[in-house]
Amino acid sequence: MSSTAVIGLQWGDEGKGKIIDSLADGADLVVRYAGGNNAGHTVIVGSDKYVLHLIPGGILHPGTLNLIGRGLVVDLEALLEEMDGLIARGVPVEERLRIDGRAHVIFPYHRHIDGLVEQWLGAGRIGTTGRGIGPAYADKVSRTGIRVADLLHPEFFARRLKAALAEKNALIEKVHGHEPEDHANLQGRSLEIAERIRALIVDGGELVRSAYREGKRVLFEGAQGTMLDLDSGTYPFVTSSWTGIAGIAGGTGCPARWLDRALAVTKAYTTRVGEGPFPSELNGEVAERLRKAGNEYGATTGRPRRCGWFDAVVARYACEVNGLDGIILTNLDVLSGFGDLQVTTSYRHGDSLLPGFPAEATVLEQLQPVHQSLPGWNEDITGVRRFADLPAACQDYVRFLEQQMGTPIERISVGPDREQILVGEHGQLDLWN
């Protein structure tokens, strides 16, 4: 029996797509458990680039089943577009994809409200992806949401949709002064899409549990990152789901105690998209160089990512709350030629050094990062495949991060291709055991 989770250690965009793709190679079932099409997982296969938003990262592998777990919010139009895009490129999506009927649906009114609320918040906005994620999760918690399986019962669905729209349209018209959403078109179109995906809708929890019981390899695919987690992250500048290890049981129906291995992906520096605290953030020339070298533009929205040094306080905190077995370090190649590198090792607030990662966004915005300077390296490392062949300063940088996190670095990625990866000095050859 074997289950492995791969999650994000920072604010998302850590390069999980490539890692999940490589682990999916040996997986029988790949399961997304949180978020929606706010995610953007990039996978490069030879000269082909795939960006997955909603569909799990095992979809390109023959023999791997992929489940959109019950913890997701599913935009039906976005799902269809992504399915059709893959089918057009020869991927047998319908053979390899399943959707948990308990997952919630994102309707156009959720996207509409997402934008309106951001406008309403003005300077206090979150900087969401505008995909309707927050409003759909809010409905789930308010018990006014509609689930994927509800679409298979047209009368029940029509009743729920009518009630939801009455409330949403009151908000859209009366509070925000916008045009209401149309009921009949939305109902018809949703049922049309439901027919198309009918055969893919399953009891996802049952699927995961039986796969695990049968000794199959199950890979849980995280989206976003720990610092965007609704509870552990930099609230309120977070997404609306449980992005860390804690989200897996709730978001899939797989018992929490059945997770055998917990891995997280982190960049060798830090990025963040959207608003919110970012203690190790850089501005000016170094930030611009990092953004260019790392091609730091959002895979979903195209927004330029904010860039900063590796923040070991964030990393330690995220290792701790997730209880990790190992780390996968990505984008190490991006740091070649940067000169001396800084790592944030602690935070100063007023006269004192903070003992951990503070809960309050206001404290996070006032604190001063304390840095440790480390020598950089100039060599291109994109062709290196063994830890011992990395430049000495680069090895030391990796060792320093490992020691700061107190967690072994299992893999180091030195470029976007599947092959550009090496086993860390203390890494295991087989990540499934």
Residues at the contact surface with ligand IMP, assessed by CB under 6 A:
11-13, 38-40, 126-129, 131, 133-134, 223-224, 228, 237, 239-240, 273-274
What is the rounded CA–CA span in Å between residue 409 and residue 426?
6
CB of 231 to ligand IMP, least distance (A): 14
Residue positions annotated with a catalytic role: 13, 41
Q: Which is nearer to ligand IMP, 122 or 215 (CB)?
A: 122
CB of 40 to ligand IMP, least distance (A): 6
CB of 302 to ligand IMP, least distance (A): 12
CB of 12 to ligand IMP, least distance (A): 3
Q: Which is nearer to ligand IMP, 13 or 181 (CB)?
A: 13
Give how far the C-alpha of residue 264 lies from the chain's centroid of Cα atoms, to the nearest Å: 11
Q: Which is nearer to ligand IMP, 128 or 331 (CB)?
A: 128
Q: Which is nearer to ligand IMP, 70 or 131 (CB)?
A: 131
Q: Which is nearer to ligand IMP, 65 or 126 (CB)?
A: 126
CB of 141 to ligand IMP, least distance (A): 14
